[in-house]
Structure 1
Amino acid sequence: MRIYLGTGGYSNEDWIGPGLLYPDGTKKDQFLEVYSQHFNAVELNSSFYGIPGLKAFEGMAKKSGGRTRFAVKLHQVFTHTRNPEQSDFDRMLQSPQPLREVGLKGPYLAQFPYSFHRTTDNRKYLLDLAERFAGHELAVELRHASWDKPEVREGMAEYGLIWVSPDYPPVGGMPEPRVHVTSEVGYLRLHGRNEGSWWEGKSAAERHDYLYNRAEMDEWADKIAEVEGELEELYVFFQNTTKGHALKNIPMLREALASRGLTVSLPNPDAPLPGRLL
């Protein structure tokens, strides 16, 4: 099983400074180049707000130096307003072609909101989305617990969809924190366990303000090791990027996985790691 490990997005200005990821003076257009020296995957957030064009993806492929896989989040028109037009499908499917050409394209991610319950209409919509993205790896995050059923995952496996295994705060009403396999590719999103701000938080930064401890990383390493023989690839993305928490947690998980015989290859083993990544 090849493990791809990274964060949700890479354009974080609070990662600039001594002991962080980006040295002082790093400009925004240099973030990806630096990021790709340390992580073999990234989950692209910007595509949720605006679908990048071909030239933008060409730039990503070049700046990453062929070292980092990109999971591309679907634009919100597919998951939140749910009224995509043909032009949206065309752009979403065609624009990442530069990544495919150099072997850097990971799965698409459909991140549905908690309000997307398992209703007849929503089941039909998800089926239509699966058919429109047929032939492409599509990971689906379903946040409402009504979807967290074996028969749902069986249906997803039938249509080639990847079940997104999540780690949420223990607030109830959401899927359990387990690694489920519906494809040869697995996808894990670690949101942190900030129970106090998950519902009341005014921003994603507040909701993801959480630093996992080593015991929690050991817990996830055990769950990953259990499915090692069932997956060819596993993507693990930390969403707790606030205050650089993810930069501390990634080495913890990498170390925990290594102790269980699972390794995460570094894009550039010779690159000096910032203090928090040691």
Structure 2
Amino acid sequence: MKVYIGTGGYSNDDWLGLLYEPGTKSADYLEVYSHAFDAVELNSSFYGIPGLKAFEGMARKSGGRTRFTVKLHQVFTHARKPEDSDFDRMLQSPEPLREAGVMGPYIAQFPYSFHRTPENRQYLLQLAERFAGHELAVELRHGSWDRPEVRAGMSEYGLLWVSPDYPPVGGMPEPQLHITGEVGYLRLHGRNKGSWWEGGSAAERHDYSYSRDELDGWAEQIAAVAEETEELYILFENTTRGHALRNIPVLREVLLARGVPVKVPSPREQNTGRLL
């Protein structure tokens, strides 16, 4: 199994002094990031689908070192009224990443309000058909989807189940690693129970640092599927105050201790950023 580990986004100004040297220009963030992590989840595409030139720049700056997972625009997951032109742009714009060999799965992040209803099940099927031939990971936040028959159906239609780690607030899928294809996808949101519903921003909800024991628990689950999975993407969403930057080296360590190979930056690459 090939494991790719990274964070949700890389354009975090509060990483200045942590990963990025003070004074680093935002245009240079990705190049520095790519020396430290071999995966990144592109969040900007949720708000506006980048054009070909933007993706060309990402492929160039990452130097072939980092795999990109690309979040679907909100018209697909929240408004759920995409036009043909939305599909065309979403499918065609990341072509430079494919040509560079660094394109990972698309990810569709549905809101908690997206319950398991006949209408929503039909919508997922339509989405699977339109993205046929491309890896599409789906995060379903409402607990009504957390059922074996749902994952069996996703496997049948080529969709990847996103295994999430949420705070223990109830009503959402359990923190279990499930694989519905040759590729797995794990999103670690943190367990900030107090601010998940009440938090005023995503930064507040993801203000959480995992303990070594919590990460070791995930390492145990990951090791258990290593023989049946070709690739696994692990994305830390707890980027607030650099929590993810500190958690990733710990996860690498506990995975290596369990015999799961992961990429560790070379000494030269570690010196590229301040933290790693």
TM-score of the two chains, using structure 1 as the length reference = 0.97
Unaligned runs of 5+ in 2: none
- Is the CA contact (8 Å cut-off) linking 1:71 and 1:109 kept in structure 2? yes
Which residue of 2 is the match for residue 10 of structure 1?
10
Counterparts of 1:65 and 1:159, CA distance in 2: 33
Where do residues 220-259 of structure 1 align in structure 2 (5 Å cutoff)?
Answer: 220-259=218-257
SS at match of 1:244: helix
Q: Alpha-carbon deviation of 1:131?
A: 0.3
Which residue of 1 is the match for residue 150 of structure 2?
152
Which residue of 2 is the match for residue 53 of structure 1?
51
Which residue of 2 is the match for residue 104 of structure 1?
102
Report the more deviating stretch, 267-276 or 49-58.
267-276
SS at match of 1:271: helix
Q: Which amino acid aligns with 1:4?
A: Y
Where do residues 70-89 of structure 1 align in structure 2 (5 Å cutoff)?
Answer: 70-89=68-87
- Is the CA contact (8 Å cut-off) linking 1:5 and 1:236 kept in structure 2? yes
Specify which of 22, 25, 39 is matched with residue 24 of structure 1: 22
- Is the CA contact (8 Å cut-off) linking 1:194 and 1:209 kept in structure 2? yes
Report the more deviating stretch, 268-277 or 139-148.
268-277
Q: Alpha-carbon deviation of 1:272?
A: 2.7
Counterparts of 1:123 and 1:105, CA distance in 2: 27
Which residue of 2 is the match for residue 92 of structure 1?
90
Which string of whole-angstrom CA distances, capped at 9 and with x for unpartnered residues, describes residues 192-214 of structure 1?
00000000001000000000010
SS at match of 1:220: helix
Unaligned runs of 5+ in 1: none
Q: Alpha-carbon deviation of 1:275?
A: 5.4
Counterparts of 2:219 and 2:257, CA distance in 1: 9
SS at match of 2:233: strand
Q: Which amino acid aligns with 1:25?
A: G
Counterparts of 2:248 and 2:111, CA distance in 1: 26
Specify which of 210, 213, 217 is matched with residue 212 of structure 1: 210
Which residue of 2 is the match for residue 41 of structure 1?
39
Which string of whole-angstrom CA distances, capped at 9 and with x for unpartnered residues, describes residues 218-266 of structure 1?
0110011111111000000000000000001000100000000112114
Which residue of 1 is the match for residue 269 of structure 2?
271
Counterparts of 1:115 and 1:156, CA distance in 2: 20
Counterparts of 1:266 and 1:185, CA distance in 2: 21
Counterparts of 1:34 and 1:13, CA distance in 2: 13
Q: Alpha-carbon deviation of 1:165?
A: 0.2
- Is the CA contact (8 Å cut-off) linking 1:36 and 1:267 kept in structure 2? no
SS at match of 2:227: helix
Where do residues 158-177 of structure 1 align in structure 2 (5 Å cutoff)?
Answer: 158-177=156-175
Q: Alpha-carbon deviation of 1:276?
A: 3.7
Counterparts of 1:275 and 1:49, CA distance in 2: 30
Report the RMSD for the aligned CA atoms in angstroms: 1.0
Q: Alpha-carbon deviation of 1:271?
A: 1.3
Q: Which amino acid aligns with 1:126?
A: L
- Is the CA contact (8 Å cut-off) linking 1:67 and 1:267 kept in structure 2? no
Counterparts of 1:235 and 1:73, CA distance in 2: 14
Count of residues in correspondence between the two structures: 275
